[in-house]
Amino acid sequence: MVRVAILGASGYGGSELIRILGRHPEVRLVGFSSRAYAGRPLSAAWPQIDLNTPFAQVEEAVAEAELVFMALPNGIAMKLAPQLVEEG
């Protein structure tokens, strides 16, 4: 099973990733980031998503992840991707 984090999970793209990956038998969703919703439950942004995990800051969201999806604006993703790769 692959442990996955989704950055930018409060946007439309992030919610679709949650919906699709949440049904995948080989994926375990372990972290979600959102600047606007950090510390609040996923249901604050997406009431239809039944997960108890709260939104977190990036560092906390990726801590347990083996794979990270970025549903972020291009400029932010471009700056963050090398940083995440460097940190492993």
CATH number (domain holding residue 74): 3.40.50.720
Q: Total structural domains in the chain? A: 1
**Domain containing residue 27:** 2-87
- Is 88 a residue whose pLDDT tops 90? no
Burial 42-70 (b: 16+ CB within 10 A, else e): beebbeebeeeebbbebebbbeebeebbb
Q: What is the pLDDT of residue 49?
A: 81
The pTM for the full model equals 0.90
What is the tens place of the pLDDT at every residue in 6-36? Answer: 999 999 999 999 999 999 999 999 999 998 9
Spatial neighbors of 27 by CB under 8 A, at least 6 apart, are 1, 2, 4, 21
Torsion of CA 79, 44, 55, 20, to 10 degrees: -80
What is the tens place of the pLDDT at every residue in 40-85? Answer: 988 889 888 877 788 999 999 999 999 999 999 889 999 999 998 9
Residue 21 contacts residue 29 (beta carbons within 8 Å): yes
The distance from CA 39 to its chain's CA centroid, rounded to whole angstroms, is: 13
Q: What is the DSSP string of 13-25?
A: HHHHHHHHHTT-T
Q: What is the pLDDT of residue 63?
A: 93
